[in-house]
Structure formats: structure tokens, C-alpha cells
Chains A and B, each alone.
Chain A
Amino acid sequence: MNWTWFHKFGSPPHIYRIAGTLAPWFGWPAGLLIVAALYAGLVLAPPDYQQGDGFRIIYVHAPSAWLSVMIYGVMASAAAIGLIWRMKVAHAAAASCAGIGAWFTVVSLITGMLWGKPMWGTYWVWDPRLTAQLVLLFLYLGYMGLRSGIDDLARSDRASAVLAIVGVINIPIIRYSVEWWNSIHQAPSVMKMDRPSMPMDMLAPLLMMLLGFTLYFAAVMLVRLRAEILRRERSASWIKEALQ
């Protein structure tokens, strides 16, 4: 079997070029989808019969919460690939994921708090999902702290990769333990999030937004990956050619 395609993925100039080509192909559809989903979600979708217009923040809240977890998975996968096959580009990809994931976690926390004010009457409730998101934010902060705490790049890559893998094993355990903890401590919350069936005109914008956010993540990740590769390879000779 011919493995050159695989080895090409380990080559920074190749990935730098591919990322540059692909980024707009993710970025433009992401922009269009997000704008369309905002219009569909904020204008076209009917108000909720209980929450009125307040529910509309779900179109930002739920996709960013979903992405915050998914990006950790992508980051840990990239880190594992980097650790196992000693692929520098994979480590660079993991490094460029962390910041985006942390920001999506912050966005989901802030929108969750804003949603909580009218629904629960307070900005913060120790709701299991909010709590798990908060722990996830600390996992991201720890990952980024470890990455910046070690000066040697190769060592920082590999140490943070081990942490990302440990974290990805722990995320489901943390989520379930927090849910279990909360179900004992607290009476059922006022708001019931899991509606059995969401009408199509409410659900469609949500799915569009989810796809839009995912594509946005891919585009931003590729741009950040290019920057990360430039930073790491700044003394390599191919950089001069690439930048001309």
C-alpha cells in the first residue's frame, strides 16, 4: 500500500498549503449558514409557548456547548496522533484547538447564565450542565497553562498531549458524577430542557446553526493552524518561499 498521502500529513509545508486552500471553503459556508440560521431562529421561528422569545438564545447556547465538548475531542485526538506517530503538525493542530474550545465554553456559560436569569430568576444555578461546562473550562485552562508553562516545544507538546488524553477519559466520568450529584442535592429545575419533540420550524435553525458553528470552528482552526505552523517553523527555509 502506498503511504505517501499519510506521510504528507506530517509535512508542515504541505499542511500549511492545504489549510490555506481549505479555510475559505469552510469559512464562507459557515458565515452564510450562521446568518441564515440567525434570521430563521430570531425572526421566522415561532415564540415558545412557555418561554416566549426568551428561548431564542438556545440558537447560540446549544451549538456552542456542543462545540466546546466536540473541540476537546478533536484536540485530544490530534494530540494522541501527535503522541503516537510523533507528528509535529498534529501537535500544532491540538494547540490551535485549545483556545477556540475554551472560548466556546465561555460563550456557552455566559449564554447559559443570561438564559437562566429570566427562566430561573438568577444568573447562576448549580445545574449539572452548567457545572460540567465550568469544569470543562478549567480543563481547557489547565491544558493551556501546561502548554505555556513548559518552554521546550517538543516537551510541551507531548506533556499537554498526555493531559488531553487523560482529560478526554475523564470528561464522561465528570459529567455523570455531576449529574448524579445534582439530582440528589437539588429539586427539579423550573425549566425542563428536554422537550420530547421540538417543532421543525424551531429545530431547523438550531441544526443550521450547529453546522454553521462547526464549519466556523474548522475555518478558524485552519487559520490558527497556519499561524501555529509559521511560528514553529520560523527558521525553516520553506517559509521564505511560502511567504513570497
Chain B
Amino acid sequence: MNSAANPPHLVRTGALAAALKVLQRDLRLAVRRPSQLLQPLAFFAVVSLLFPLGYTPELDKLRAIAPGVLWVGALLASMLALDSLFREDAADGTLEQFLICGQPLVGLVAAKTLAHWLLTGLPLTLMAPLLGIALGVPVAAMPGILSSLALGSVTLSLIGAVGAGLTLGVRRGGVLLSLLTLPLAVPVLVFGARATELAIAGESLTGPLYLLAALAVLGATLAPLAAAAAVRIGVE
């Protein structure tokens, strides 16, 4: 009787294991479609390189606006990749399977968010020093830029996951997604650009870094709950 309710060939999966499986799946899908991985990076590079062309090629002037250029570029590139976070999975029914599989949705959504960060936030962070050099940023500032972007992009992915979940039911939700998430990203932009500015000036950037870390912790605590609620609403 017990075996009928719980057949032996079904292995019970823990919540963490299920989340890891989702993470693995998303990473594997991305590796098989590298263009999706490369597009935000190319976008980031093009946006950053438009500034020397549109503003001035003088490195001294570019260095002054480099924090803003790098952060706005990373923000927009991260946003660009958000649209695909849930949309395809909603279209092919994967999200419905998430809802009925009995695993906590929060964990699965958090895993997808982590995958988004690993696939966009982290590569964007790693590419930023390269673009920084093109904008006249001294090499000594690179550790500061790397650490602030790494922390800040975590929060961007978390905020973005909420927005992507909310716009699931919207046809052509791309523009709306930006309108929803960009105002919420203001604190990250403020602290991130400030950290980068301090790094370029060669000063200590622990203050804004702590604030970025605090935002990331707050986001990691609350955003998956909101994103899971949003996905549930969007799929039901």
C-alpha cells in the first residue's frame, strides 16, 4: 500500500537538489546557445564605445564619466538579457511543471536568478575592466570595479527577476520590464557608480561596497519571494 503511494522507482529529491538541477539545466541550455550569452556582452561593449565617438576621445574627459558609462551600460545589458529569463520557460510549459512538481517555487526561481547572474552579471563584470581601459581608467582601479560590479550585478539580477516574473503575462513586455526595474535599480546605480569613482580616484571604497553588499543581501532575502509570487501569478 505504501509502495503505491510512493513508488520505489521515484527518487525523492530535496529542495536544494532540485534547485541545483534547475541551475544545471539553465547553464547547459546557455552553453548550447552561446549567442544568447554573448549578446549582452556585445551590447555592453558597443554602448561603452559609443561614448568616445559621441562625446570625446580624450581619455581625461572619458575617465571622469567612466563610472556612469560602465554602470549604465552594465545595467542596460543585464536588463536586455532579462526578457528571456522566464519567457521561454513560460511558453513551453516548464514553469507550469515548476508549480506542480511539489518543490518550493522560491528555490527554483532563485536558482534561475543565480543562473542569470552567472550568465550575464558575472561575464559583464569580467568584461568591465577591458572597457574601463578604453575609457582611460587606471589599472589600479580594476579590483574596485570588479568587486563593486560583482556585488551590484547580483542585486540587478534579483530585481530583474521580479520584473521578469511580473511581465510574464504582458505581450511585448520588454519596454515595460525596463520601466518597472530601472527605478528600483537606482540605489545600486548610485552606490556602484560612487564605488567606481572612488576606485578611479584611488581612494578607499569600503563604504559604498558595504552598502552594495547590504543591498545584495536584502535583495537575496526578499526578491526571490516576490519573484516566485510573480511567476505564480503569471503562470496560473
Question: Across the interface, which residues of A come within 8 angstroms of B184, CB to CB?
Answer: 139, 166-167, 170, 174
* Choice from A139, A146, A151 contacting B183 with Cβ under 8 Å: A139
- A interface SS class: helix
**A145-B234 in contact given A165-B226, A178-B190, A181-B190 (Cβ < 8 Å):** no
Question: Across the interface, which residues of B come within 8 angstroms of A155, CB to CB?
Answer: 169, 233-234, 236
Q: How far is the CB of A84 from chain B (nearest CB, A)?
A: 11
The answer to whether A163 touches B166, judged by C-beta atoms less than 8 angstroms apart, is yes
**A158-B228 Cα distance, complex, nearest whole Å:** 13
In the complex, A202 has a CB within 8 A of chain B: no
**Which residue on A lies nearest to B175, using beta carbons?**
A145
Residue among A139, A141, A162, A174 having the largest count of chain B Cβ atoms under 10 Å: A162
**Which residue on B lies nearest to A143, using beta carbons?**
B180
Interface size of B by CB at 8 A reads: 27
* Choice from A158, A163, A165, A184 contacting B180 with Cβ under 8 Å: A163
In the complex, A149 has a CB within 8 A of chain B: yes
**A159-B169 Cα distance, complex, nearest whole Å:** 9
The answer to whether B179 touches A135, judged by C-beta atoms less than 8 angstroms apart, is no
The answer to whether A162 touches B230, judged by C-beta atoms less than 8 angstroms apart, is yes
The answer to whether B179 touches A174, judged by C-beta atoms less than 8 angstroms apart, is no
The answer to whether B194 touches A146, judged by C-beta atoms less than 8 angstroms apart, is no
Q: How large is the interface on A (under 10, 10 to 19, 20 to 34, 35 or more residues)?
A: 20 to 34
Question: Across the interface, which residues of A come within 8 angstroms of B194, CB to CB?
Answer: 181, 184
**A146-B190 in contact given A141-B179, A159-B233, A163-B180 (Cβ < 8 Å):** no
**A155-B168 Cα distance, complex, nearest whole Å:** 10
**A162-B230 Cα distance, complex, nearest whole Å:** 7
**A152-B179 Cα distance, complex, nearest whole Å:** 21
Question: Across the interface, which residues of A come within 8 angstroms of B222, CB to CB?
Answer: 169
Q: How far is the CB of A141 from chain B (nearest CB, A)?
A: 6
- B interface SS class: helix
Question: Across the interface, which residues of B come within 8 angstroms of A149, CB to CB?
Answer: 167, 169-171, 173, 176
In the complex, B191 has a CB within 8 A of chain A: yes
**A146-B164 Cα distance, complex, nearest whole Å:** 11
**A149-B194 Cα distance, complex, nearest whole Å:** 35
**A152-B187 Cα distance, complex, nearest whole Å:** 33
* Choice from A158, A162, A177 contacting B186 with Cβ under 8 Å: A177
**A177-B183 Cα distance, complex, nearest whole Å:** 12
**A142-B186 Cα distance, complex, nearest whole Å:** 14
Q: How far is the CB of A54 from chain B (nearest CB, A)?
A: 30
**A150-B187 Cα distance, complex, nearest whole Å:** 28
Q: How far is the CB of A210 from chain B (nearest CB, A)?
A: 26
**A158-B179 in contact given A170-B184, A173-B187, A177-B191 (Cβ < 8 Å):** no
In the complex, A138 has a CB within 8 A of chain B: yes
**A19-B170 Cα distance, complex, nearest whole Å:** 32
**A174-B169 Cα distance, complex, nearest whole Å:** 27
Q: Mark B153-196, 1 if CB is under 8 A from A, else 0.
A: 00000000010001101110100100110111011001100100
**Which residue on B lies nearest to A185, using beta carbons?**
B194
Residue among B190, B191, B230 having the largest count of chain A Cβ atoms under 10 Å: B190
Question: Across the interface, which residues of B come within 8 angstroms of A151, CB to CB?
Answer: 169
**A138-B234 in contact given A149-B173, A162-B166, A166-B162 (Cβ < 8 Å):** no
In the complex, B215 has a CB within 8 A of chain A: yes
Give 3 nearest A-B pairs by CB, closest first: A177-B187, A149-B170, A138-B183
Taking A170-B187, A173-B215, A181-B194 as given, write out 19 further A-B residue pairs in contact, using a Cβ cutoff of 8 Å, ordered by the A residue number.
Answer: A138-B182, A142-B179, A142-B180, A146-B167, A146-B176, A149-B173, A149-B176, A150-B169, A150-B170, A155-B169, A162-B226, A162-B233, A163-B180, A166-B184, A169-B222, A170-B184, A177-B186, A178-B186, A180-B190
Q: Which residues of A contact B (CB under 8 A)?
A: 135, 138-139, 141-142, 145-146, 149-152, 155-156, 158-159, 162-163, 165-167, 169-170, 173-174, 177-178, 180-181, 184
